[in-house]
Structure 1
């Protein structure tokens, strides 16, 4: 249902599953296992896997904390988008990568739920994409010391509100790893 013309394909986004981002996050291992399951399925079905990697003062390029977790292995042919803002589209080449592949539907996984995941979900929707969040394939750190809800509540709330997200001609949605479909969304 995307509003992007001639963009019938789907891509899997793997956002910021970096050592310094997911260290100590709830369900870290099961989230990474679910992302690996989705990567394997996407590759088997010929669906593009697009990797996004954040840089900041805490995540300096080439540092150990900046590196993707060792359990996830990007293939050389798979695009890697570097970013410095929460929204994976903001001041990056992500849109060009997706346009080149005819992608109008995104399947989103990664970290952090309350920062880069939420920003990218909204950024994609306002840019015309259909955007599905994989509810058991994203996580966040514990920011309760700063007044945030517990990470499990942040994840649950994001899954809940994104489930019914929509805008004219496009839609969001939340599914579990087992329910992910890489088939193009229908036109109605």
Structure 2
């Protein structure tokens, strides 16, 4: 089994509390429970793996929360309410800050650090499909990692849920052609 990293991209308050409705993720009542369920199941799996192996860190699954920030930007400005993560990391989970769409571009030593931990596969969910999620997938593939994108667990802006889902589906089609695996979020087994 590959050593895996669950990369939870940019699930921040600003996507749910922005004053301009055009900058809100549509239908948060659909996605927030999905993300919470995935994170809870990843945490349970990681904890079980640690206990079974008697190790301080799971040999099978690590969890990283990616947090975007932009100077002067209402939603992503550091230390503002919108910048905060919707699901704060627990002790032992990584928090990765970034100023660019790709978490790898903002953290140049990330790929080598993950390799040192034995990570070979990234499982990716979050926001926005055609921006930071896509950029993370591109970078991870370029760095030689296996990448699995959880379909239905990455989301983007749009006036309606249907419009956002259409964009997300288009991105999945592109990522599949580039070498990423796509698995329906509720079918993935840790």
- Normalising by the residue count of structure 2, what TM-score does the alignment of the two structures yield? 0.78
Q: How many corresponding residue pairs? A: 165
19-28 vs 173-182, which deviates more?
19-28
Q: Which runs of 5+ in 1 are unaligned?
A: 1-6, 167-171, 183-188
Partner of 1:105: 121
Output one character per residue of 1:42-101: Cα deviation in whole Å (capped at 9) or x when no partner: 2222221111100013211110110112xx232022110100000110131532542343
Runs (4+) of structure 1 moved beyond 4 Å? none
CA distance in 1, matches of 2:113, 2:30: 28
94 and 29 in structure 1: CA distance in 2 versus 1, 3 angstrom threshold:
farther
Partner SS state of residue 137, structure 1: strand
In 2: Cα distance, 1:161 partner to 1:176 partner: 16
- Out of 55, 80, 87, the residue aligned to residue 63 of structure 1 is 80
CA shift, 1:162, in A, is 2.4
Secondary structure (helix, strand or coil) at the match of 2:91 reads coil
Measure the CA separation in 2 of the matches of 1:140 and 1:94: 25
Higher helix share: 2
Residues 1:13 and 1:83: Cα distance change in structure 2 (over 3 Å): same
Q: What's the offset of the Cα at 1:154?
A: 0.9
Q: State the match for 2:152 in structure 1.
A: 136
TM-score by length of 1: 0.78
Consecutive unaligned residues in structure 2, runs of 5 or more: 18-23, 47-60
Q: Which of 30, 50, 54 matches 2:68?
A: 54
